[in-house]
């Protein structure tokens, strides 16, 4: 019953190539992807390190001419015309991101291997990306919330966006809420464009193959010690 309702809601956004003419609609539609970017809503937080997950979703949406205008499950909501992809920027504050991500995945009955969460990561140099099929949450409370609302299941995709480590004794909480300097912003903007291409590859090739290809390309980026200290 729920699969049938899902197909009805997504049918206008599914191209014919995803539907078998010999099967019933409720069984033949491909499962959509859900891409979630973590960040804080409001002008105050725009362009900060903590909002690069939002930036990633915006870049992917722009590349596909998607307008993120619908508000659903505490998120801005959009679809790729002709490709089954749901995009979300949770409008809770970042530490409550799971309230939105969990509700979306549950409502659309999505298996977690069809979910990718994009977020800032201080364990990667500024501008370096990593795509992974599963993992923990490290020190990221937004990702911790997502895992909690996924019933503590950690087997969902992550697109980690490196922002570098805070310098010296700087409070990490203050660091992630600051904006990048010119060099850092340029590297992040470049990485965001690469990340949008990586998400396209996820749709076309699947998470495992996209991770294999993307992570090789990212492996040796910015191997300079001071990149970890970018302000």
Of 136 and 82, the one with more pLDDT: 136
pLDDT score of 220 more than 90:
no
Highest-pLDDT range among 18-27, 204-213, 215-224: 204-213
Answer yes or no: are the C-beta atoms of 31 and 110 closer than 8 Å: yes
7 — pLDDT class (breaks 50, 70, 90)? very low
The average pLDDT across 138-155 equals: 96
- What's the whole-number average pLDDT of the chain? 84
The whole-angstrom separation of Cα 204 and Cα 198 is 10
Q: What is the model's pLDDT at position 106?
A: 94
Q: What is the pLDDT of residues 16-48, one digit of tens each?
A: 333 322 333 433 466 789 999 999 999 999 999
Q: Percent of the chain beyond pLDDT 70?
A: 78
Would residue 50 show up in a list of annotated catalytic residues for this protein? yes
pLDDT tens column, 73-130: 677 766 665 668 999 999 999 999 999 999 999 998 999 999 999 999 999 999 999 9
pLDDT at 20: 28
| DSSP code of residue 42 | S
Q: Choose between 81 and 164: higher pLDDT.
A: 164
d(CA 221, CA 91): 32
Domains and CATH numbers, the chain: 33-228 (3.40.50.1470)
Question: Is the pLDDT score of 6 beyond 80?
Answer: no
d(CA 86, CA 116): 10
């Amino acid at each position: 019953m729920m699969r049938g309702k899902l197909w009805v809601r997504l049918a206008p956004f599914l191209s014919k190539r995803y539907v078998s003419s010999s099967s019933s609609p409720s069984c033949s539609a491909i499962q959509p992807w859900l891409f979630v970017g973590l960040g804080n809503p409001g002008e105050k937080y725009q362009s900060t390190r903590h909002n690069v997950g939002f930036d990633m979703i915006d870049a992917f949406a722009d590349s596909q001419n998607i307008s993120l205008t619908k508000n659903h499950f505490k998120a801005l909501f959009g679809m790729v015309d002709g490709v089954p992809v749901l995009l979300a920027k949770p409008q809770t504050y970042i530490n409550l991101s799971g309230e939105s991500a969990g509700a979306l995945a549950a409502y659309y009955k999505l298996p977690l291997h069809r979910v990718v969460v994009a977020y800032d990561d201080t364990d990667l140099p500024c501008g370096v990306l990593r795509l992974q099929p599963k993992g923990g949450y490290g020190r990221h409370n937004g990702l911790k919330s997502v895992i909690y609302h996924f019933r503590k299941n950690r087997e969902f995709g992550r697109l980690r966006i490196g922002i570098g480590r805070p310098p010296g004794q700087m409070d990490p909480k203050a660091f992630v809420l600051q904006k990048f300097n010119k060099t850092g912003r340029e590297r992040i903007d470049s990485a965001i464009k690469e990340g949008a291409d990586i998400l396209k590859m996820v749709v076309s090739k699947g998470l495992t193959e996209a991770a294999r290809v993307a992570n090789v390309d990212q492996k040796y980026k910015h191997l300079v010690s001071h990149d970890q200290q970018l302000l």
